[in-house]
Amino acid sequence: MKQRRLFEPEPEPTPWEVVDRADQVCAQLVFNRPLETPFDYLIPEGLQPFVKPGMRVRVPFGRGDQAIVGYCVGVGRPSGGANRLKSVLELIDQAPILSPRMLELTRWIAARYLCGWGQVLEAVVPAGVKNQAGTRRTLLVSIDPARWPGAEPVELPAKQAAAVAVLQREGRPMGIEQLARLAHCGTGPINALRQRGLLKSSYERLDQGGAEVDEPLERQPDLQLNVEQQRVLHEILQTLRGGVFRPFLLHGVTGSGKTEVYIRAIREVVEYGRQAIVLVPEISLTPQTIRRFRSRFDSVAVLHSHQTDAERHRHWQQIASGQVQVVVGARSAVFAPTPHLGLIVIDEEHEHSFKQDTVPRYHAREVALERARSERVPLILGSATPTLESWQRAQQGDFTLLSLQRRAAGLRLPPVHLVDTREDPQFRGGAAIGRALRSAMQQALSAGGQVILFLNLRGFCPVLWCQACGAPVKCPHCDVSLTWHREQNEARCHSCEYTTEPPRHCPACGKPGVRYLGTGTQRLESEVRAKFPGVSCVRMDSDSMRKPGSHDIALESFRTGQTRILLGTQMISKGLDFPNVTLVGVIDADTVLHQPDLRSGERTFQLIAQVAGRTGRGQQGGRVLVQTACPEEPPIQFAARHDYLGFVQRELRLRRQMGYPPFESLIRVILRGPDEAVVNQAAQTLGNTLRTAIDSGGLAARILGPAPAPVTRLKNLFRYHLQLAAPQLETLQTLWRTSGAPCTLPAEIELAVDVDPINLR
């Protein structure tokens, strides 16, 4: 018998043979839509050798056959069904932009977070990679003067005519996507024009832009690790050498030298010729952090959100080619295309910014876990204040707990003093800095130290309030009260950034006498300047740090001692390591405590512990003053004693009683729409459908709500939510997939499904 060679071409079908469906080659495509399953599209013969999983194609989609981009996730025979299949129109990529591994990971994300696989792919591939910024020759179309001599052209369908009109008006070649946008049509009509030969095509290189060269840094030697660090590193190295998946929770107090441990573990990984990914919160991607890694490794790529498309693309390619040893980046760096991953580190694993709050609503920790599992590498989650979710997993043995209980280099954690604001008349007079804090600041400054003041409210006055009717002055589009920003003299909504002149009359009752209450960072700044004239002070919040680079300039002037007082929001609460800071003041510890959120206690504890971590990092020591009206509240008490264990034990007990995470999983479903009654009705119907499904399936799950969301109106849309809770997340995922719940909704309702929600507003 003649053996067939592997790549021997199939015999051509003779003309009278019926072409069977089984002979056709299909691409399985997913789209940037909330769809669960891939779609089959026929691959035209000429394209068959080129289309591979991980590439993008253009295909007709939906009733109007609009040409849209699809991601190929598989190539094979049609999966069944008698309906006529549509064909691929165009192949976009020359090579796959996603590896098989990345396809698997993104499929896992779509299943876990209940969104479309294509939605995940769309979000995961950086824009610069998608449009090949800096490298690709892009297709441009223009009017063919030979075909369009005068004003009286061929009779065209309306959309094609609109596209031609835009090209005539602009008088230059344009990209297809841009033209479609300006002409308010899909890309279909434009392609139709090209096919009819009515437009001329040309190719042009996109702007290179932004290819800055990383200047080499002076190499720093490794530090001599202390005994605790050595013990922890030893455990990690054993796992690394074993080449197995294992998650570690590294609980180390602030300044205990966690980063040094990461660096040494990474060194081992690099020696094997593998790469490491280090995730840090976006606001910790400071020059200080970056310098620390770049002074210890030959090639470090930094990924952050301020990069241009071309920069991102360049880094992505360098990483994919294996040239990069260490990738340091925020949340999305978990997708960095390292060819030989050796280790993933997540620093400050408790940070909320690791959860994405748009589709796909993934948490980088969960994605990192899955990626580490599939690539069989260790994962290190580090924090001084681990989330209860991670702590509980360590208790159950899912994570290996490692701890660093002392600060490195023999330094002590700073003492934390609580100042009861109810006992100081200064506060009733409207001051934000009480007597105790003021004199502590004076002492610290006159001894040559520096001061950090923390307040998590921006603006000048966070509340505008009508004395006559008692109502807060709210944003006309949101259920959020306006904040007065004195610098621009405007009232601003911090949810939608609506701004208006500060109202003199109450919009609700029309009477004069709107009062400005409370203190935001702007007002704190002017109080500091008034109380400490001549002392240099810098404010860091999202208003003062708008310009790119301003963040670095502010921190640099603080590092060199030019600035003596640094005040600001979350931006300054973590990661900073300045030995000369001898005093940290928390202006109001209660702002978070009173939020209606199951994590308000945890957040308050974390906040105080993290802010306190900014001092006592030098030989002069340091201390912390926390102003609060609730000094007896347990999260504040535990934080003042640096007692994380005491705090988690109590908090876990409460969570267990309440059936909250980590003991139950949650899925939050938010419904949005312009008409409150319709939203409410839809939420009720959805709730009933889900309850019926729970009862008939005998599922161990419950539904909380529906109810108006805490912020009931946002950007002119009314918001209702409900929560699905169950001991097992799988129960909820199955419930949601099988209940048919989304089908009950009217078209005008937007739906957001948030698995493991963190933001409960």
Binding site for ligand ADP (CB under 6 A): 223-226, 229, 252, 254-260, 408-409, 577
- The least CB distance from residue 727 to ligand ADP, in Å, is 34
Query: Residue 253 or residue 277: which is nearer to ligand ADP going by CB?
Result: 253
Q: How far apart are the first and last CA of the chain?
A: 71
Residue 409 binding: pick among Zn ion, ligand ADP, none (C-beta 5-8 Å cut-off by kind): ligand ADP
- The least CB distance from residue 347 to ligand ADP, in Å, is 7
> Could you please report the per-residue DSSP string of 319-359?
HHTT--SEEEESGGGGG---TTEEEEEEESTT-GGGB-SSS
Residue 408 binding: pick among ligand ADP, Zn ion, none (C-beta 5-8 Å cut-off by kind): ligand ADP
Q: Which amino acid is at 385?
A: T
Q: Nearest to residue 645, comparing CAs of 609, 592, 599? A: 609
Query: Residue 406 or residue 713: which is nearer to Zn ion going by CB?
Result: 713
Q: Half-sphere exposure of residue 613, counting CA atoms within 13 Å on the CB side? A: 26
Do β-strands 39-42 and 90-91 pair in parallel, antiparallel, or remain unpaired?
Answer: unpaired
Under a CB-based contact definition with an 8 Å cutoff, are residues 53 and 102 in contact? no
- The least CB distance from residue 240 to ligand ADP, in Å, is 19
Task: Name the token pair of 532.
Answer: 């400490």
- The least CB distance from residue 255 to ligand ADP, in Å, is 4
Q: Produce one character per residue of 288-316: b if its CB has 16 or more CB atoms within 10 Å, e if not.
A: bbbebbbebbeebbbbbeebbbbbbbbbb
Under a CB-based contact definition with an 8 Å cutoff, are residues 686 and 665 in contact? no
Give Cβ neighbours of residue 753 (< 8 Å, ≥ 6 apart): 113, 114, 115, 361, 667, 668, 669, 736
Query: Residue 300 or residue 461: which is nearer to ligand ADP going by CB?
Result: 300
Query: Residue 478 or residue 609: which is nearer to ligand ADP going by CB?
Result: 609
**CA gap 112, 690 in Å, rounded:** 19
Residue 226 binding: pick among ligand ADP, Zn ion, none (C-beta 5-8 Å cut-off by kind): ligand ADP
Q: Is 481 left (phi over 0), alpha (psi -120 to 50) or beta?
A: beta
Residue 477 binding: pick among Zn ion, ligand ADP, none (C-beta 5-8 Å cut-off by kind): Zn ion
Query: Residue 35 or residue 411: which is nearer to ligand ADP going by CB?
Result: 411
Longest dimension (CA), the chain: 101
- The least CB distance from residue 402 to ligand ADP, in Å, is 12
Query: Residue 308 or residue 400: which is nearer to ligand ADP going by CB?
Result: 400
**CA gap 662, 660 in Å, rounded:** 6
> Could you please report the per-residue DSSP string of 90-137?
EE--SS-SS-HHHHHHHHHHHHHTTS-HHHHHHHHS-HHHHTTTTTPE
696-705 long-range contacts, Cβ below 8 Å, gap at least 24?
A: 697/735, 697/738, 699/726, 699/731, 699/734, 699/735, 700/726, 700/727, 700/728, 700/731, 701/725, 701/726, 701/731, 701/732, 701/735, 702/726
Query: Residue 503 or residue 618: which is nearer to ligand ADP going by CB?
Result: 618
Residue 496 binding: pick among Zn ion, ligand ADP, none (C-beta 5-8 Å cut-off by kind): Zn ion
Query: Residue 251 or residue 719: which is nearer to ligand ADP going by CB?
Result: 251
Residue 57 binding: pick among Zn ion, ligand ADP, none (C-beta 5-8 Å cut-off by kind): none
Residue 478 binding: pick among Zn ion, ligand ADP, none (C-beta 5-8 Å cut-off by kind): Zn ion
Task: Name the token pair of 462.
Answer: 């966070």
Q: Is 253 left (phi over 0), alpha (psi -120 to 50) or beta?
A: beta
Q: Produce one character per residue of 518-527: b if its CB has 16 or more CB atoms within 10 Å, e if not.
A: bbbbbbbbeb
Query: Residue 254 or residue 522: which is nearer to ligand ADP going by CB?
Result: 254
- The least CB distance from residue 254 to ligand ADP, in Å, is 5
Query: Residue 353 or residue 685: which is nearer to ligand ADP going by CB?
Result: 353
Under a CB-based contact definition with an 8 Å cutoff, are residues 489 and 552 in contact? no
Query: Residue 378 or residue 434: which is nearer to ligand ADP going by CB?
Result: 378
Residue 256 binding: pick among Zn ion, ligand ADP, none (C-beta 5-8 Å cut-off by kind): ligand ADP
- The least CB distance from residue 717 to Zn ion, in Å, is 11
Task: Name the token pair of 129.
Answer: 């990679």
- The least CB distance from residue 354 to ligand ADP, in Å, is 17
- The least CB distance from residue 305 to ligand ADP, in Å, is 23
User: Residues interacting with Zn ion, by CB under 5 A?
Assistant: 475, 477-478, 493, 495-496, 498
Residue 260 binding: pick among ligand ADP, Zn ion, none (C-beta 5-8 Å cut-off by kind): ligand ADP
Residue 475 binding: pick among ligand ADP, Zn ion, none (C-beta 5-8 Å cut-off by kind): Zn ion
- The least CB distance from residue 520 to ligand ADP, in Å, is 29
Residue 495 binding: pick among Zn ion, ligand ADP, none (C-beta 5-8 Å cut-off by kind): Zn ion
**CA gap 334, 328 in Å, rounded:** 10
- The least CB distance from residue 349 to ligand ADP, in Å, is 12
